[in-house]
Amino acid sequence: MNRLAILLGVAVASIGLAVGAASAQQITGAGASFPNPVYQKWGEAAQKAIGLQLNYQSVGSGAGMTQARNRTVDFGASDAPMSPALLAEHKLLQFPTVMGSLVAIVNIPGVDDNQMKMTGELLADIYMGKITKWNDPRLVEMNRGLSLPNLAIAPVYRADGSGTTFVWVTYLSAVSPEWKDKVGVGTSVKWPAGTGARGNEGVAGTVRNTRGAIGYVENAYAVQNKLVSTQLRNRAGNFVIASHEAFLAAADNADWNAPNFAANLVDQQGAKSWPIVSPTFILLPMDPKDATRSANVMKFFDWAFANGNKLAEELEYIPLPKAVQDAVRATWKVNVKGPDGKPVM
Amino acid sequence: MSSSAISPPGHLATAPRKSGSTGDRIFSGLCHGAGVFVLILLGAIIIELFIGGLPAFRAFGIGFVWGDNWDPVAEEFGAIVPIYGTIVTSVMALALAVPIAFGIAYFLTEIAPVPMRQPVGTAIELLAAVPSIIYGMWGFFVIVPVMAQYVQPALIDSIGELPLIGVLFAGPPFGTGIFTAALILAIMIIPFIAATMRDVFRTVPPVFKESAYGLGCTRWEVMWNIVIPYTRRSVVGGIMLGLGRALGETLAVTFVIGNANRIATSVFAPGNTIASLVALEFGEAEADSLKLSALLALGFILFVLSFIVLAISRFLLRPPAGQ
């Protein structure tokens, strides 16, 4: 497989080189599909503004990590942070670019957007197959104002390995020791119950088609498709509605000083914090073969941090706090060195 | 050979023959090359899949084949759930497709008015050319909602409550699942089987059928006693070709099968097939990981399964000895 990956990578890279020869301002990246819309948007805008052309391929976080390791692209992208050991081994610098949030979506007759109250513990029990009816006493107790029907709960999950799943099960593990014990965290896990669907659109479609279904999608997707989201109880014990303020509150309360910026934004402190927020990461070689291209990658994200926040918000992403963006800029200057040993940026 | 005795000697006749024989040699060389190339390619794919899957076979032993655990977090992999899903959906699809394909083929060769045979036959062949992604999307957006809202709730509330067979039709009505996957697969393989059957039914010498009709046989009796015995081998071979396609079908199945790595008793429960699991998990499988190896090992198993089916179909489709 390694050989196949290299071959593919070489093919991609050689296309990149061929185009790069024509206009030297081309940069290539590959990986996570979750930030793909905002990277594409930034790419379009940056080409007009600073003449940098981004060629980003949304091939999945796992493939993004592989390509970054093999140096077949200028940068890799991943929703799940890479382990510190692997980062060191492959001389990769990891930094966040933007944040996203997940919401739980439901299809229950008579329940509208943001009406249903839900907790992480109950979500974990639903996805474990322990709560199987919508009129379960624990759900009814929490939702006094709603009349919940005697209807089987149909949990829907992402069947394809995905960063979205990684964030979702990170949250379930954070709030449910049993989930952490029995299922754990990964881009795909051994689901104890429910049905799988392919991609965000697959999950949304299955939830829409199935009476009694519950699923999870990125907030951007839920907003654009007018899906029925639930409230969630955060760590402080308050029920919050998925909103920009709630996402920002989570970001403000996070500890961004974690090694390699692998900040944990899930189940954050704060009265207003939305509990399922997550950054997405870039993996950049610290020993680039081509210093110019590497510098262009950093220029691109420098431009995006300075000018791309509004574009990100339009797509329902959450820009990084200013302090984090500055910390990322600082780490570029220190850690990415060209063949001559001098900082690239 | 006595060709020299027939062809007149003379340079007018021999000159083209000389150049012709050079051409023949080149042509035969190219053909041999093409034949050998296919063999090498096939061997290379099998070997590459096996080598890729070797770490998984080493880690789990032969038990990989019947292990029922697929846990990417704990890095424990077993293949029986997708193998089971692959075989069950394919066999169910055959059970649904064969009677319909048989009906189509018989209608086209025996019953349909002659002007109608060609257009309908062409339409069947065109159906075989529809890309599988189209069937997948059609299945997901059209069939699945119908199954979820009408067919499955009705069946679950009626048959699902019965003792014994009830478990086969129990569970929440997702619309997706083993049964829906089998339904889509059946629709996809009907054209293959129908076209093969039609072609072999045509090979029955008319004199056999006319004699039977002359003795006062009904259409059904002619079919059952003349046409089927005469073409049995080829019919089974055609069915096996359909089975081969059903086993390896990826995209359409991925959309509608529900993608759960569990074996359930209910036919409405979600499951998974080998091809669908590989397609879904490949993007997130990291280089050199055990998961990637397990996926390649699954590919190897699917290859072996398809190879067995194809070998059986070749065996059945071979011309009977003595003809």
- Compute the nearest-CA separation of B145 from chain A (Å): 5
- Answer whether residue A10 shows pLDDT above 70: no
Higher pLDDT, A220 or B198: B198
pLDDT in tens, A15-59: 544 444 444 588 999 988 888 889 999 999 999 999 899 999 988
Please report the sign of the dihedral spanned by the C-alpha atoms of residue A107, residue A113, residue A117, residue A122. Answer: positive
The runs of H, that is alpha helices, within A32-83 are: 36-50, 61-69
Give me the pLDDT at residue B27, please: 92
The runs of H, that is alpha helices, within A176-280 are: 177-182, 199-209, 219-224, 244-253
CB of A20 within 8 Å of any CB in chain B? no
| Residue A149, token pair as written in the block | 């029907």
DSSP state of B150: I
Distance, in Å, from the CA atom of B117 to the CA atom of B113, rounded to the nearest integer, reads: 7
ipTM computed for the complex: 0.72
When CB atoms are compared, the residue of A60, A191, A198 closest to B260 is A191
Give me the pLDDT at residue B5, please: 44
Q: What number of other Cβ atoms are within 10 A of residue A182's Cβ?
A: 15
CA A310 to centroid of chain Cα atoms = 18
Pairing of strands A53-58, A26-31: parallel
Q: Which of B47, B272, B276, B286 to mutate to test the interface with A (most CBs of A within 10 A)?
A: B286
Q: What number of other Cβ atoms are within 10 A of residue A314's Cβ?
A: 11
Q: Do B174 and A184 touch (CB under 8 A)?
A: no
Distance, in Å, from the CA atom of B188 to the CA atom of B196, rounded to the nearest integer, reads: 14
Give me the pLDDT at residue A13, please: 52
Distance, in Å, from the CA atom of B182 to the CA atom of B93, rounded to the nearest integer, reads: 5
Percentage of residues of chain A with pLDDT beyond 70: 93
- Compute the nearest-CA separation of A280 from chain B (Å): 15
Spans of chain B, pLDDT less than 70? 1-20, 317, 319-323
pLDDT in tens, A79-111: 888 889 989 999 999 999 999 899 999 999 889
Q: Which residues of A touch B145 (CB under 8 A)?
A: 209
CB of A116 within 8 Å of any CB in chain B? no
Distance, in Å, from the CA atom of B268 to the CA atom of B248, rounded to the nearest integer, reads: 21
Query: Taking the model in full, what pTM does it have?
Result: 0.79
pLDDT band at A8 (very low <50, low <70, confident <90, very high): low
Give me the pLDDT at residue A1, please: 45
Give me the pLDDT at residue A2, please: 54
Give me the pLDDT at residue A3, please: 57
Give me the pLDDT at residue A175, please: 93
Distance, in Å, from the CA atom of A47 to the CA atom of A38, rounded to the nearest integer, reads: 14
Helix (H) / strand (E) element for A99: namely strand A92-107
Distance, in Å, from the CA atom of A338 to the CA atom of A345, rounded to the nearest integer, reads: 9
Q: What is the mean pLDDT of chain A?
A: 87
